[in-house]
C-alpha cells in the first residue's frame, strides 16, 4: 500500500542542488551515505551531475521508472511538477517544501491544486512541509530525509508529526545504541495520514513496537480504529504533547490552529490502547525494552543484584509504580543458599554480592525463571574490576535467549573499560540502562502493556 | 579539619598487593593513573615494589611523614595496624576492609578496639567497609578509592553512604561530561560522619553544589544543623532512598538494621533545606545546572527555540512544575520583530525558526536578558546542517558569561558531527541536555532553590 513510499526502488529528487547546505543536496548525500539500494535521479535544470550522480533537466527525461519523488521547490511551482510526476507515473511524492495551507488562503489554493492533480494520477502525497521517511531494512536503506541521525537496523518504528521531535526521539534511540526500523515525519499530512502510517507499521512484520508523537489528530474515529487494530498486534507508545494549556497553545501556534476536539489526544490514546508517556527519555527506554523482550505475565518482579544501594532505588520505583517484589518460595531459597556465597542474601532482592561470579548470576536467574510467583527479572549489575564480568554478561545474555520471562538490566559500568561485557549483553538482546530508576521504569512499561 | 583525608600530601597503602585484581593493587594504580601529586608508600611484608613503587615491610619503615593510610587487611589485624599508624603519627586512615560492627558482636568488639586506639593517637577514621575519597583538585589529584570513574575537575562534590550509588551518581556526571570536585563514600562511618563531610564540602570554596545519598542518619540533630549551615552557602541536593516500605526494608537488610526514626530522612531533608530528588538522573542534571549557572530571581522563564515540537514538550514540563512563561512586553516584541526573520514567532516561546542564525539567537537572548518579567532563559537548540551552528553556540556561550540570568540549553544534535558546537557551549559553561523534558527539569530545580 505505502510500499512505494517506504520501499522505493528508485528515488527522484526534484530540486536537487549542487549547494552543499541545501535540502536538495543533503537528501542525495543522505541516500548515498546510508547505502540506498535503489536508483537515485537528481532533477536540476542546469547541473549535469550532483554528488557524482547524473542529473536530469526534467523528471520526464529520466529513463527508468520512479517509485518516489522528493519535491523541494517553491510552492507555486509544485502543482505543475506534480502534473509532470503524474505523466511519469511516479507512485509517491514527498513534498519537503513549505508554503501551503499553513500560510493562509493562497497557500491552501496551491495545496488543493496539487492534491487534485495527484489524485487524478493516483499519486500518494507525503507532507508537505515535512522531513520525510527512513527505512533501515538492509534490502532498502532508504534515507529519504534531510535529518542527521544514522540508525542501525532494529525493531522500533517511529511516526511523528513534528520533524523536530521525530529527530529527537530517533536520536535518543541512536544514543542508547538501539536500532530502529521505519521512520516517518509527515508534517502537514495533506494526504497520507498518521493513521495510514500506523496501519503500515502495524502490518510490518519486522516492526515490534511503534512510537508516536502526535500534536493533533484530524480524524479521531479512523485513528482509534486503526490504532486498536495495530495494538492488538504490537505495542504502540506515544508521547503526550501539549498536556498543559500553555503547551497546547504552543502546539496551536506551531501547527496553525487546533480545535478543542483535537487537543484531547489523551482520551483518544486511551481509547486506542496506546501507552502514553510524559517524558521522552522514558518513552525511548520503554520502546527499547519492548523491542527486545517479551511482555511479562503479571506484575511480580524478581530482583538480582551485586550491589546494595541501586537495588533499593529500583525497588522504590517498581513498588511505587504498583509492581510487586514477592518473597521467594522456601524451595527457591534453599536452592539459592546451596549455589550462592554463604553471605549472599537469598530474599528478593537476591544479592549475589559484589564478588558474585557468572555461576552465581546463572543460579539466581535459573531459580527466578522457575519460580511460579515471578513474572520478570530485574538485574542490577555493577562491573567491579575484581570479577570476571564477561562470564556474568554471558550468563545473562544466555538466559535472555530463553525468552521465557523478560529480563531488564541496570548496567552500571564504564563504556570504554567494559566494552566487551556491554557488547555481549547488547548482542544477547538484553535491554541495558545506566540508572536503576530508568531501568525500573522500562520494566514498569512492559507490565503496563499486560495490565492495561 | 579533614584536610589530611581530602588533601593528603602522602598516602600509605597497608595491604598493598602485587595481585592485579585486588583492592590493594587497584588503589595504587588509581593513584598513579589519576596523577596523584603526593608520595605513595605501598606496605607489604614481602614485595620489594608494587606498580613500580618501592614497598615497605611496615608503615614504621617509611622514611617520610604519612597523612593518610589505607587499610586493606583482614579485620582482626586492624587494631594492631592502627596502633602502628599511631606510632607513625598518621593523621587519617581509610579502612576499606569489612568484617566489623555490621557482622555482629565479635566484629563490633574489633571496631571498638581500633577506634579507641585511633582516638588515643588522634587519628581520624574513614569507613570501615567503604570505598574511599577522590579529590580532583589539580594540586592534589588524590584517587584514594578502588572505583572506576575518572572525573574531570569540576564544582560538584558527592557524599554517599553506599559506594554503589556513589559510583552510580559519579559516573552519571562523567557520562554527561560534567566534572566533579570531591567525592566521599564512607560506608559504616564509625568516626568521620556524613555531617562532618557535609560541613567540609560546605566550607570548600571550589564546591558549588553538594550531592548526597543517605540511607540512614544516625544523629539527625547534628546533621540538620550542619546541613542548614551548608545550604545557606550553597545548594545541597539529595537522593531519597527507601521511600517505599519495600525499599526501606531493602535499606535495612543492606546496612544491617534501621530504627523507625532513621528512615524518616525526608523530614530531616526538609528541615535541613535540602532539595530532594526521586530520580538519580534528574538529580545529576540539576546538580550540573547548579554547578554552572546562577539561581533565578523567580519562576518566570523566557523560551527561545529554533524548532517547534521540543518547545512544546519543555513548556509542558515547566508549566506543570509551577513555572511561568509570561507574555513579553510590547517593547520587547517590537525589538524582536525588528531583529528576527519576518516569519519568526515573537511570543514567548520565541521561535527564531530552523534557519535562525547566530545574530537571531543573540537578539532573542539580549531582549530576554533585559525583560523585567523574565528570570531565566531556556534555549531549545537543534543543529540543522544548513545553518552556522558554531556562531549560534558562540552567541549562547557569550551570553552565559554575563551571569545575569541563568541559561539552560536543550541541545539536540549529533555528538560526532557537531563536536565543535558542543565544545563551545561546554567551555562557555552552558548546561546542555539531550531531551527537552530533562533540560526543563534542571531549570525547575534551580527555581526550587530560590522558592523553597
pLDDT tens column, B403-432:
789 999 999 999 999 999 999 999 999 999
| Chains A–B, number of C-beta pairs less than 8 Å apart | 201
Of A256, A276, A292, the position where a domain reaches its end is A292
* B416: Cα within 13 Å, side-chain hemisphere: 6
* Nearest one of B265, B132, B215 to A308, comparing CA atoms: B215
Instruction: Give domain status of residue A439, yes or no.
Output: yes
Same domain, A312 and A414: yes
CA distance B62 to B92: 16
Same domain, B192 and B337: no
Mean pLDDT over B297-318 rounds to 94
The strand pair at A156-160 and A142-145 is best described as unpaired
* Nearest one of A107, A159, A155 to A131, comparing CA atoms: A159
Same domain, A427 and A365: yes
Determine whether the interchain pair B309/A247 forms a contact, defined as Cβ–Cβ distance below 8 Å.
no
Determine whether the interchain pair A168/B315 forms a contact, defined as Cβ–Cβ distance below 8 Å.
no
CA-based max dimension of chain B: 80
Q: In 3-state terms, what secondary structure has residue B402?
A: coil
Residue A338 burial (10 A CB sphere; 0-12, 13-18, 19+): exposed
Residue of B nearest to A383 (CA): B148
Same domain, B370 and B341: yes
CB A159 within 8 A of CB A210: yes
Same domain, A322 and A230: no
Residue of B nearest to A23 (CA): B386
CB B435 within 8 A of CB A281: yes
* Separation in Å, CA of B184 to nearest CA in chain A: 15
Count of domains forming chain B: 3
Determine whether the interchain pair B435/A250 forms a contact, defined as Cβ–Cβ distance below 8 Å.
no
Same domain, B154 and B184: yes
| B193 membership: H or E segment, kind and range | none
Q: Which of A66-70, A448-452, B200-204, B283-287 has the lowest mean pLDDT?
A: A448-452
Q: Which residues of A touch B345 (CB under 8 A)?
A: 253
Q: What does the H/E/C string look like for chain A? A: CCHHHHCCCEEEEECCCCCCCCHHHHHHHHHHHCCCCCEEEEECCCCCEECCEECECCHHHCCCCCCEEEECCCHHHHHHHHHHHHHCCCCEEEECCCCCHHHCHHHHHHHHHHHHHHHHHCCEEECCCCCEEEECCCCCCEEEECCCCCCCECCEEEEECCHHHHHHHHHHHHHHCCCECEEEECCCCCCCCHHHHHHHHHHCCCCCEEEEEECCCCCHHHHHHHHHHHHHHCCEEEEECCCCHHHHHHHHHHHCCCCCHHHCHHHHHHHCCCEEECCHHHHHHHHHHHHHCCCCCCCEEEEEECCHHHHHHHHHHHHHCCCECCCCCHHHHHHHHHHCCCCCECCCCEECCCCCCHHHHHHHHHHHHHCCCCCEEEEEEECCCCCCHHHHHHHHHHHHHCCCCCEEEEEECCCCCCHHHHHHHHHCCCCEECCHHHHHHHHHHHHHHHHC
CB A364 within 8 A of CB A352: yes
Same domain, B118 and B151: no
Grid coordinates of A317: 520505583
CB B123 within 8 A of CB B90: yes
CA-based max dimension of chain A: 80
Predicted local confidence at residue A266, as pLDDT:
78
Q: Which residues of A touch B382 (CB under 8 A)?
A: 164, 167-168
Angle at B323 between CA B318 and CA B329, to 5 degrees: 105
Same domain, B395 and B410: yes
Question: Length of chain B, please?
Answer: 452
CA A87 to chain centre: 36
Grid coordinates of B413: 544534535
Q: Which residues pair with A139 in a beta bridge?
A: none
Nearest to A241 among B175, B313, B414 (CB): B313
Give φ, ψ of B377 to 5 degrees: -120, 125
Nearest to B312 among A247, A436, A438 (CB): A247
Instruction: Give domain status of residue A136, yes or no.
Output: no
Determine whether the interchain pair B243/A160 forms a contact, defined as Cβ–Cβ distance below 8 Å.
no
Q: Which residues pair with B159 in a beta bridge?
A: B184, B212
Determine whether the interchain pair B435/A253 forms a contact, defined as Cβ–Cβ distance below 8 Å.
no
Residue A136 burial (10 A CB sphere; 0-12, 13-18, 19+): buried
Same domain, B282 and B301: no
Q: Which residues of A touch B148 (CB under 8 A)?
A: 383, 385, 413-414, 417
Same domain, A29 and A120: yes
Predicted local confidence at residue A87, as pLDDT:
98
CB B336 within 8 A of CB B349: no
Grid coordinates of A451: 495490565
In the predicted model, residues of chain A with pLDDT beneath 70 are 250-264, 450-452
Determine whether the interchain pair A312/B242 forms a contact, defined as Cβ–Cβ distance below 8 Å.
yes
Same domain, A320 and A268: no
Which CATH number does the domain housing residue B435 bear? 3.40.50.261
Q: Which residues of B touch A310 (CB under 8 A)?
A: 162, 164-165, 168
Predicted local confidence at residue A253, as pLDDT:
63
* Separation in Å, CA of B246 to nearest CA in chain A: 7
Q: Which residues pair with A432 in a beta bridge?
A: A409
| Locus of grid cell 542534571 | B285
Determine whether the interchain pair B437/A315 forms a contact, defined as Cβ–Cβ distance below 8 Å.
no
CA distance B279 to B273: 18
Q: Which residues pair with B212 in a beta bridge?
A: B159, B238
Mean pLDDT over B263-290 rounds to 91
Q: Is the pLDDT of residue B150 over 60?
A: yes
CA A427 to chain centre: 19
**DSSP code of B180?**
B
* Separation in Å, CA of B228 to nearest CA in chain A: 25
Q: How far is CA A225 from CA A220, A276, A300, in A?
A: 9, 17, 32
Determine whether the interchain pair A386/B22 forms a contact, defined as Cβ–Cβ distance below 8 Å.
yes
What is the side-by-side order of every strand in the sheet holding A156-160? A142-145, A132-135, A182-185, A156-160, A209-214, A236-240, A275-277
Predicted local confidence at residue A41, as pLDDT:
98
Angle between helices B308-320 and A245-255 (to 10 degrees): 170
Instruction: Give domain status of residue B141, yes or no.
Output: no
Which CATH number does the domain housing residue A77 bear? 3.40.50.720
Instruction: Give domain status of residue B303, yes or no.
Output: yes
* Separation in Å, CA of A275 to nearest CA in chain B: 17
Predicted local confidence at residue B261, as pLDDT:
46
CA distance A143 to A134: 5
Instruction: Give domain status of residue A142, yes or no.
Output: no
pLDDT digits (tens, 9 = 90+) for B79-129: 999 999 999 999 999 999 999 998 889 999 999 999 999 999 999 999 999
The domain in which residue A334 lies consists of: 294-451
Of B292, B322, B345, the position where a domain reaches its end is B292
Residue B262 pLDDT level (bands cut at 50, 70, 90): very low
Instruction: Give domain status of residue B142, yes or no.
Output: no
Q: Which of A280-284, B1-5, B106-110, B259-263 has the lowest mean pLDDT?
A: B259-263
Q: Is the pLDDT of residue B338 over 80?
A: yes
The dihedral through the CA atoms of A189, A190, A195, A199 has a sign that is: negative
Q: Which residues pair with B230 in a beta bridge?
A: none
Q: Which residues of A touch B247 (CB under 8 A)?
A: 312-313, 315-316, 319
Asked, as a colleague might, if the bond just before A349 is cis with ω within 30 of 0, I would say yes
* Nearest one of B189, B226, B235, B229 to B208, comparing CA atoms: B235
Q: In 3-state terms, what secondary structure has residue B401?
A: helix
Grid coordinates of A424: 555481549
Of B80, B103, B129, the position where a domain reaches its end is B129
Same domain, B281 and B299: no
CA distance B319 to A285: 24
Entry pTM: 0.94
Instruction: Give domain status of residue B138, yes or no.
Output: no
Angle at B166 between CA B163 and CA B171, to 5 degrees: 120
Instruction: Give domain status of residue A141, yes or no.
Output: no
Amino acid at each position: 500500500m505505502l510500499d512505494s513510499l517506504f520501499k522505493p526502488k528508485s528515488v527522484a529528487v526534484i530540486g536537487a542542488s549542487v549547494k552543499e547546505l541545501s535540502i536538495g543536496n543533503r537528501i542525495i548525500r543522505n541516500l548515498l551515505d546510508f547505502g540506498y539500494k535503489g536508483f537515485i535521479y537528481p532533477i536540476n535544470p542546469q547541473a549535469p551531475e550532483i554528488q557524482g550522480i547524473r542529473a536530469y533537466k526534467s523528471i520526464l527525461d529520466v529513463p527508468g521508472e520512479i517509485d518516489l519523488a522528493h519535491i523541494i521547490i517553491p510552492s507555486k511551482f509544485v502543482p505543475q511538477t506534480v502534473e509532470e510526476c503524474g505523466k511519469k507515473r511516479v507512485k509517491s511524492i514527498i513534498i519537503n517544501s513549505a508554503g501551503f495551507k499553513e500560510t493562509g488562503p493562497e497557500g491552501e489554493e496551491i495545496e488543493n491544486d496539487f492534491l487534485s492533480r495527484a489524485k487524478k494520477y493516483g499519486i500518494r502525497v507525503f507532507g508537505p512541509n515535512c522531513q520525510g521517511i527512513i527505512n533501515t531494512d538492509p534490502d532498502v536503506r532508504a534515507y529519504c530525509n534531510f535529518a542527521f541521525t544514522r540508525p542501525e537496523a532494529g525493531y522500533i518504528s517511529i511516526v511523528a508529526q513534528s520533524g523536530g521531535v521525530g529527530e529527537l526521539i530517533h536520536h535518543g534511540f541512536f544514543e542508547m545504541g538501539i536500532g530502529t526500523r521505519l521512520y516517518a515525519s509527515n508534517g502537514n499530512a495533506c494526504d497520507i495520514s498518521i493513521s495510514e502510517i500506523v496501519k503500515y507499521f502495524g502490518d510490518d512484520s519486522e516492526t515490534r513496537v511503534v512510537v508516536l508523537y502526535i500534536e493533533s489528530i484530524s480524524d479521531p474515529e479512523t485513528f482509534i480504529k486503526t490504532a486498536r487494530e495495530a495494538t492488538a498486534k504490537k505495542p504502540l507508545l506515544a508521547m503526550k504533547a501539549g498536556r498543559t494549556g500553555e503547551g497546547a497553545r504552543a502546539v496551536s501556534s506551531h501547527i496553525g490552529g487546533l480545535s478543542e476536539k483535537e487537543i484531547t489526544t489523551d482520551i483518544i490514546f486511551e481509547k486506542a490502547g496506546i501507552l502514553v508517556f510524559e517524558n521522552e527519555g522514558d518513552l525511548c527506554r520503554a520502546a527499547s525494552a519492548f523491542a527486545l523482550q517479551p511482555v511479562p505475565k503479571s506484575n511480580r518482579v524478581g530482583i538480582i543484584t551485586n550491589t546494595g544501594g541501586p537495588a533499593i532505588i529500583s525497588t522504590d520505583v517498581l513498588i511505587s509504580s504498583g509492581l510487586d517484589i514477592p518473597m521467594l518460595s522456601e524451595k527457591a531459597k534453599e536452592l539459592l543458599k546451596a549455589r550462592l556465597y554463604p553471605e549472599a542474601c537469598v530474599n528478593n532482592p537476591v544479592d549475589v554480592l559484589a564478588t558474585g561470579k557468572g555461576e552465581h548470576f546463572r543460579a539466581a536467574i535459573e531459580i527466578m525463571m522457575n519460580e511460579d510467583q515471578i513474572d520478570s527479572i530485574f538485574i542490577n549489575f555493577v562491573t567491579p574490576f575484581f570479577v570476571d564480568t564477561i562470564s556474568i554478561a554471558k550468563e545473562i545474555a544466555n538466559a535472555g535467549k530463553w525468552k521465557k520471562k523478560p529480563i531488564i538490566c541496570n548496567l552500571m559500568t564504564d563504556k570504554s573499560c567494559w566494552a566487551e561485557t556491554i557488547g555481549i549483553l547488547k548482542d544477547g538482546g538484553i535491554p541495558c540502562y545506566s540508572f536503576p530508576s530508568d531501568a525500573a521504569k522500562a520494566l514498569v512499561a512492559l507490565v503496563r502493556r499486560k495490565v492495561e
